[in-house]
Amino acid sequence: MNRKTFLALLGRDAHVARRNFFPLLLQTLLQPMLLVFVLGRVLTTSGMMPVQYKSMLLPGIIALSMLLAGIQAVAMPLISEFQFTKEIEDRLLAPIENQWVAIEKVFAGMVQALVAGLVVLPSAWLLIGKGVELRLGRPAEFFAIVLLVALLSSTIGLTLGCAIGQTQIGLMFSLVVAPMIFFGCAYYPWSALASFPILKRVVLVNPFVYASEGLRAALAPQLPHLPVIAIFAALAAFDAFFLWYGISRFLRKAVG
């Protein structure tokens, strides 16, 4: 690996992200804020949901924002760079092995997912109002989970970015991203699926479940969540799988 080239590629992505900072911020913040307001504020204040729901929802929203940020930061640019503009060639001709071009994308996506998580956490907390009980009991555990979730979102972004065609972006959101989120335990804990025994088992193949449950375990440990050890194991396994699979798809696509 060539460190100078890798840093220059990262510098390029940072430069483009800085230039688009406000649109990016809006894109990252708007959807989670709407969800927080409707689910966390309107439904709880009107009494349709108990106040405890606020603490249940907030970690899920953070996981959701991180996932969307990773997809936006890695998958969307890759789809157009590979197909429409062909500008991926501009990066592939840099003097560095092709897999490092993919790893650089993952790294840049991770940073954007982390920033998204860090921005959404306080803003959502402010918007959701009184009654949230978040306890950061074990900061090391929280940071480890946040890092694993950021890596998960950007490696999923890499995989989708190398697998989806320009014309299939809409389908990607409705067929892949939406089910992943809705069956991803972002709006409810996994234990809430007790009355749906089959679904409860099936959703375990969804990597996003471990992101939501992991952040829930780290931020609101008083609420029901999957065992922490299982969360770590699953996140690490999914990270490794999507990193390997995403890079191998990238390499196949990178060369004619």
Q: Do 145 and 235 form a contact (C-beta atoms < 8 A)?
A: yes
Residue for token digits 């993952």? 106
Single residue of 41, 138, 200, 253 touching other proteins by CB under 8 A: 253
Binding-residue pattern over the window 12 to 31 for other proteins, x denoting contact by CB under 8 A: x--xx--x------------
How far is residue 82's CA from residue 102's CA, in Å, rounded to a whole number? 12
CB closer to other proteins, 19 vs 135: 19
Tell me the number of residues near other proteins by CB under 8 A. Answer: 40
**Between the CA of residue 255 and those of 98, 102, 252, what are the distances in Å?**
9, 13, 6
Interaction of residue 158 with other proteins, rule CB under 8 A:
no
Binding-residue pattern over the window 46 to 85 for other proteins, x denoting contact by CB under 8 A: ------------------------------------xx-x
Single residue of 8, 34, 38, 199 touching other proteins by CB under 8 A: 8
How far is residue 160's CA from residue 176's CA, in Å, rounded to a whole number? 9
CB closer to other proteins, 48 vs 255: 255
CB closer to other proteins, 53 vs 82: 82
**Between the CA of residue 80 and those of 49, 128, 168, 172, what are the distances in Å?**
42, 36, 11, 14
CB closer to other proteins, 236 vs 251: 251
Cα 101–Cα 246–Cα 173 angle in degrees, nearest 5: 110
What residues have CB less than 8 Å from 98, skipping those under 6 apart?
Answer: 92, 250, 251, 254, 255
The least CB distance from residue 163 to other proteins, in Å, is 4
16 in helix, strand or coil? helix
Binding-residue pattern over the window 117 to 156 for other proteins, x denoting contact by CB under 8 A: ----------------------------------------
Dihedral (Cα; 53, 59, 65, 69), 10-degree rounding: -170
Which residues form the interface with other proteins (CB under 8 A)?
2, 4-5, 8-9, 11-12, 15-16, 19, 82-83, 85-98, 162-168, 171-172, 175, 249, 253, 255-256
